[in-house]
Amino acid sequence: MISMMLNEIFERHNLRLTKPRQQVFDILRNSDVPLTVGDIAKNCKNINRASIYRTLLMFDNLNIINTITIGWKNYYELAEPFIPHHHHLYCINCQNAEPIQSQELEKLIDLIGKKHNFIVTKHHFELEGICEKCRHIIENK
């Protein structure tokens, strides 16, 4: 099902789904957390970084991935419809990304848009802090 959706996107834009593009997609699909280019490169032994960057740019333009910026780093993950819509809690100590799904947050975003007579078509909401595990380590030092 997921491969069919990906093929349809490429066909609709008259693009070829090459092996390197498929490999980058598969690495993102098999990850539970957003990945950096370095993370992706570690798993793409036969693809140079320039090709990975070009693939990620293409995927972003085709709305296949979401690009999440935390500090100075970009993280990449699949977008809808490949994974459910969600946001993240990022630990600034261990860099763990905890996905969160919140109907209350989605309602608030919709309410803010309506209040300002604005149609929200896309949004990113990420929270940075210290996770429970790291907080315990820090407190017990």
Per the annotation, where are the binding residues for Fe cation?
A: 85, 106, 123
Rg (CA), the chain: 17
Work out the angle at residue 96's Cα, subtended by the Cα atoms of residues 90 and 100, and round it to the nearest 5 degrees.
55
Quote the CA–CA distance of 47 and 70 in Å, as a whole number: 25
Residue 27's nearest CA partner among 43, 14, 13 is 43
Quote the CA–CA distance of 19 and 41 in Å, as a whole number: 15
* H or E segment and range at residue 65: strand 65-70
Binding site members:
85, 91, 94, 106, 123, 131, 134
- C-alpha 123: how far from chain center: 12
Residue 78's DSSP bridge partners are 65
Binding site members for Zn(2+):
91, 94, 131, 134
Q: Say which residue the tokens 């990975």 belong to.
A: 52
